[in-house]
Amino acid sequence: MPLELRPGTSVPIPCRHCEKALIRFTVSEGGHSVACPRCGGATEVKVYAEGQGFKIKTSKGATRIKPSSS
């Protein structure tokens, strides 16, 4: 049974960088950037109304660059 998406519902979003972590995301309409607790990369999340419910699309965002030790 598919998850019913409503504003305020917490859902797992897969990290689009490391693909090894799930990021908890609270559904709210619009564009959002969420950081992965494992790799630090950002996943862009877009939530929009479709019919009677909401739809979520995710994509890679900017990657946090870790400073190199010299």
Per-domain residue ranges of the chain: 10-60
* Helices H / strands E in the chain, number of each: 0, 5
Nearest C-alpha neighbor of 43 from the set 12, 69, 68, 67: 12
Please provide the average confidence, as pLDDT, over all residues in the chain. Answer: 85
What confidence category does residue 67 fall into, taking pLDDT thresholds of 50, 70 and 90?
low
Is pLDDT at 1 greater than 50 in this prediction? no
Q: Please write the tens of the pLDDT for every residue from 35-61.
A: 999 999 999 999 999 888 889 999 987
Whole-Å CA distances, 56 to 25, 65, 66, 67, 70: 11, 27, 29, 33, 41
Contacts of 68 (CB under 8 A, 6+ apart): none
- pLDDT (average), residues 4-26: 91
pTM of the model: 0.77
